[in-house]
Amino acid sequence: MKKRTALIVALFVSPAVPAVWAGLTIPLIPGNVHPSSQLVVSGVYYQWSLYAMLLLGYPAFLLGRKLHLIKWWSAIIAGCVIGALVSDALLGNQQFITTSLMGAASALTFWAIWRTGRDDPA
């Protein structure tokens, strides 16, 4: 897969990690863990995760690439920071650790997918 294709796939797949995580752990109605409500929660979280990816994650990736700092550990750190920012902005810092871990998992997924891309031979 080409680097550009891997980047596009990573941009749209990595937000699914926190979305699925949220769908499996956060009930839509307390005490009601039903597959349809889990799907709704995942869909809502995917939208917010995609927004966070495009507004915060992609610029962080571009900066890291410019500084030659795209490594697995830098992805985890950036994901934790972005997750913490999202937690503070959207949730009033109530789920700080959870959203930081979601951000780290999403960023690590992004890095793993992006890393599979190969440069075009010149």
* DSSP, residue by residue, 28-96: SBTTB--HHHHHHHHHHHHHHHHHHIIIIIHHHHHHHHHTT--SHHHHHHHHHHHHHHHHHHHHTTTTH
Average pLDDT, whole number, for the chain?
A: 86
- Single-letter amino acid code for the residue at 35: P
| pLDDT attached to residue 30 | 66
Quote the pTM value: 0.83
| Residue pLDDT, tens place only, 52-69 | 999 999 999 999 999 999
| pLDDT attached to residue 73 | 94
Which of 85, 108, 109, 15 has the alpha carbon at shortest distance from 54? Answer: 15
| pLDDT attached to residue 26 | 72
